[in-house]
Structure 1
Amino acid sequence: MSQNVSLMFPGQGAQHHGMGVGLYRDEPVFRNAMDDFFAALGNDGEQLRDEWLSAAPGPLLDDSSRAQPLLFGLGHALGAAVLARGIEPSALIGHSVGELAAAAVAGVFTATEAGRIMAGRSEAMAKTVPGGMVAVAGTVDDVTPHLRGDVVVGAVNTPRQVVLAGPQEDLQAVVQALAAHGFACQPARARQAFHSPACAGAAVEFESAFDGVRLSTPRITIRSTRTGLPVTPDQAATPEFWAAQIALPVRFWAALDHLLEEEGTHVLLEAGPGGSCSSMTRRHPAVREKRAEVLPLLPPAGQDPGMDVDTFDRALTRLSTVPHA
């Protein structure tokens, strides 16, 4: 059996101040990829870069206008740095905006086009009603009876961890009801109700950001967290496929489950701030049974930026020593 290497790209909620800045300082390929993306954003990119590299966290880090492009940029740049080391992933999987980072790494669109796409995404989301997302320790069937208003299950991360999304007032009422019934609820670091009907209008507007963008067939298989299945050439070439994602549920566990069903052993590299995708993936039976291993490419929040290069190099060194099945 063969060893399958996959890259995982986290989404909203994984962001933290200082993520990846140490790698930006010391890893040329990563730095160049980030600079190309910031340049593609124009004046907004220069401001975003300055906020990212600042000594103190900016007040809008959890807003989609900051978190989303930064998470995209980090994922795309980490993917470029991994490919530059001669590692050829067999698959890519991205959570929410992470799926767009996967598309960029797979060559669906260029870094320059990505600047336009991500700017359009931020502009569209800025017009949505105030909302949020809350992680709940429970199944879809557990939480469904407590939903009300426009609150929906916006993500299924594991069989027993879902994320609810919706407008603020409705979401708070649902969380209170769940807490009263003993459910553990944890607010996600998001100010918008991603992956809910509140974003339906934004999805339509976001589609126009792809006008004039030549969408190509992925060079690397993308395990879509919209469908749970590989992205087809027709889907990759359709702007609606990428745009509608912001109003539809994230099926992370379904995509991961199908990926880890493939024959052989698996190594999953988390291409983003260390923690979110890794913690979910480690709950999968394939990981618990040692048929799959998860390696973060960046350290978790709170670590000195000097640990970035050590974590990145350690993961790739470990990858080269994992025995083939």
Structure 2
Amino acid sequence: MISKRLAFIFPGQGSQVPGMGKALYEENSIFREAFAQAQQALPFDLKDLCFNGPKETLDNTVYAQPCLLATSVAAYRTLLSHITVQPVFMAGLSLGEYSALTASGVFSLEQAASLVHHRGRFMENAVPQGKGTMAAIMGLDTAAIQEACDQAIGSGIVEIANYNYAGQTVIGGEVAAVRQAMELCLEKGAKRAVELAVSGPFHTSMLKEAAIQLENYFKDVAFGPWTVPVISNFRATPYETLEEASNLLVQQVVSSVQWEQSVQYMISQGVDTFVEIGTGKTLSSFVKRIDKTCTTLQVEDPASLEKTIQCLEEYQHADK
């Protein structure tokens, strides 16, 4: 066992940006092969959209989810071809949970690309455009945020959607109720309350129809065994059986993402190094805010890949 205990973490929707994965694609055949596999399951030009946008299309949930998954899994396979050390856990934020499950072998890449393309469509169609929104609340404890949501319920549905870290919680629901809850949070002492540029109130009960459609879709999906334990967003602990996997993923659509709790669980199991694989450094920043003593690494381009490989090799050699 190595002295450093690793977790691989995968970003969720919102981290997409035109140009993502392009440099790794140009330099690495394993990355290109993974993109080609994902492309077989998708009805749009994956490479062109990831590399060139336009951003308005890439930001669309239906496209963002398969693009992010393909980029993360291709980057993971690229990293894996250069290292021998293994993580003790994998986890992902929302959509990133599917990347983690794919990296761990529960889904094939083609299967997962098609799955999240459909998931994006289910989520996009579940709530009429303009009816729902989300907002990030900074600098207020979750008990006060929950109280604000309870007080705003007269204006409509508003719920906690993401527990990112102690200083940032995301709420979602109907527009009027979310905006009232934002005002109440500011009155209760929040440092900031920022409405997010999203297409729907994800991870709230308003996505019930999407959950029903996803549950029906899973009836024809085969789940394979994992090679590395994967943390469930819904309960912040690892999947225990394949039989529960579809139910946990259905619950994830309409339930709060327990990201802070997931990271705390992995730390409690001895994880001290988190490798964010995919686009951006959002999850790395969350990890640092949860526990600044943790080491964070990234794999999103050739430079970060090389740095991460070097660090992981040093961990391995130091333990010999």
Task: Please report the TM-score for the alignment, with normalisation by the length of structure 2.
Answer: 0.88
CA contact (8 A) 1:199 1:247 kept: yes
Instruction: Indicate the SS of the match to 1:12.
Output: coil
Q: Report the Cα distance in structure 1 between the residues aligned to 2:99 and 2:212, rounded to whole angstroms.
A: 20
Tell me what 2:34 maps to.
33
Q: Report the Cα distance in structure 1 between the residues aligned to 2:240 and 2:83, rounded to whole angstroms.
A: 26
Q: Report the Cα distance in structure 2 between the residues aligned to 1:32 and 1:135, rounded to whole angstroms.
A: 37
Whether 2:171 is the aligned partner of 1:164: answer yes
Instruction: Indicate the SS of the match to 1:156.
Output: strand
Q: How do 1:275-286 residues align onto structure 2 when only pairs under 5 Å count?
A: 275-285=281-291
Instruction: Indicate the SS of the match to 1:245.
Output: helix
Cα deviation, 1:266-316, whole Å, max 9, x if unaligned, reads 22110122221011101233xx33xx3101212xxxxxxxxx211211122
Letter aligned with residue 123 of structure 1: R
CA contact (8 A) 1:116 1:209 kept: no
Instruction: Indicate the SS of the match to 2:56.
Output: coil
Runs of at least 5 residues in structure 2 that lack an aligned partner in the other structure? none
Instruction: Indicate the SS of the match to 1:270.
Output: strand
Whether 2:272 is the aligned partner of 1:266: answer yes
Tell me what 1:316 maps to.
309
Match of 2:106 among 105, 108, 116: 108
Runs of at least 5 residues in structure 1 that lack an aligned partner in the other structure? 299-307
Cα deviation, 1:184-216, whole Å, max 9, x if unaligned, reads 123444212110011111011012222322112
Q: How do 1:112-151 residues align onto structure 2 when only pairs under 5 Å count?
A: 112-129=110-127, 130=129, 131-137=132-138, 138-147=140-149, 148=152, 149-151=156-158
CA contact (8 A) 1:12 1:190 kept: no
Deviation at 1:151, TM superposition (A): 1.1
Q: How do 1:284-323 residues align onto structure 2 when only pairs under 5 Å count?
A: 284-285=290-291, 288-289=292-293, 292-298=294-300, 308-322=301-315, 323=318
CA contact (8 A) 2:63 2:117 kept: no
Q: Report the Cα distance in structure 2 between the residues aligned to 1:120 and 1:66, rounded to whole angstroms.
A: 10
Q: How do 1:84-95 residues align onto structure 2 when only pairs under 5 Å count?
A: 84-87=81-84, 88-95=86-93
Tell me what 2:78 maps to.
81
Tell me what 1:253 maps to.
260
Instruction: Indicate the SS of the match to 1:283.
Output: helix
The count of aligned residue pairs is 306
Letter aligned with residue 276 of structure 1: T
Tell me what 1:215 maps to.
223
Instruction: Indicate the SS of the match to 2:5.
Output: strand
Tell me what 2:184 maps to.
177
Match of 1:231 among 223, 239, 252: 239
Instruction: Indicate the SS of the match to 1:282.
Output: helix
Identity level (%)? 23
CA contact (8 A) 1:62 1:189 kept: no
